[in-house]
Structure 1
Amino acid sequence: MANKNRCLTPTTDDECKRARLYLQDTLDVVGGKWKLVLISILRGGKLKFRELTREAGISARILSKELKEMELNGLITRTVVKTSPIMVEYELTPYSNTLSEVITAMHEWGKNHRQKIIGQQSTEPNSL
């Protein structure tokens, strides 16, 4: 008999496999070092490419790659502003709001984890 506690809520092996697939899909869309950072920055409103580069502290090459992936997944929109020189602005789509609970949960977990780890380090001898 399969261990039914190994998945979050599924009760069958097929449901477990689907659950892992859904988690992988989520990680494919928001995983990596930059996507959630960029989403949190863009929550403040639309920004130009250079502003995003500066705000995130990310190279233009990596930012371009991340923004393309986010646009393909429907999380941001890219608008070309017909000025001289031409500017490109990015902003979150309404669909990106569906990640709010995920981002909030990750924020809380990260805050608690940081406190736990820093608390452990400060009680160890010779800790910084």
Structure 2
Amino acid sequence: MNGTQYHIGVEATIDVIGGKWKPVILCHLKHGKMRTSELKKAIPQITQKMLTQQLRELEKDQIINRIVYQQVPPKVEYEISEYGSTLNLLLEHLCKWGELHVQKRKENGEEVELNSVEFIDVV
């Protein structure tokens, strides 16, 4: 076999959505279409170069759609693709776990802050 070989399924998942930024980008896009500038504003720590790179990779893997509007000035939006929406449950679980983790760290006396909470009350 000359192609990519994975030993367990999670390797293939991490290959597509792994890293620091892709899950964050996808969590923002699950609320609807966003322009690059809106994503940059929502994720202030990411550089423009990294955001562009991550969006291109997610588009290449067919996780997101890039929508180009033929107008002046040009307008581009991103949305989760139908295929990418199959990750929604996984992303939801990651968000829930992260919120619980932050809560646990606070209970242990750490100074940690979470600016957006979506699921903590549901758990």
Q: Would the TM-score normalized by the shorter structure come out above 0.5?
A: yes
Deviations 1:6-56 (A, max 9, x none): xxxxxxxxxxx732xx21211111111111111111122112222221122
Q: Which runs of 5+ in 2 are unaligned?
A: 1-5, 113-123
Aligned-pair CA distance for 1:104? 1.9
TM-score normalised by the chain length of structure 2? 0.75
2: CA distance, partners of 1:101 / 1:69: 21
Question: Partner of 1:56 in structure 2?
Answer: 43
- Structure showing greater radius of gyration is 1
Aligned-pair CA distance for 1:93? 0.5
1:55 corresponds to which letter in structure 2? A
Give secondary structure in 1 for the equivalent of 2:7. helix
Report how many residues are paired: 106
Identity %: 33
2: CA distance, partners of 1:82 / 1:109: 41
Question: Partner of 1:69 in structure 2?
Answer: 57
1: CA distance, partners of 2:92 / 2:75: 32
| Greater than 2 Å deviation, 4+ residue runs | none
2: CA distance, partners of 1:107 / 1:44: 14
CA contact (8 A) 2:30 2:88 kept: no
2:27 corresponds to which letter in structure 1? S
Q: CA RMSD in A?
A: 2.0
State which of 113, 120, 127 in structure 1 corresponds to 2:101: 113
Higher relative helix content: 1
Deviations 1:86-111 (A, max 9, x none): 12111110111211221122122212
Aligned-pair CA distance for 1:64? 0.5
Q: Which runs of 5+ in 1 are unaligned?
A: 1-16
- 2:38 aligned with 1:42: no
Aligned-pair CA distance for 1:66? 0.3
Aligned-pair CA distance for 1:121? 2.1
- 2:8 aligned with 1:25: no
1: CA distance, partners of 2:95 / 2:77: 26
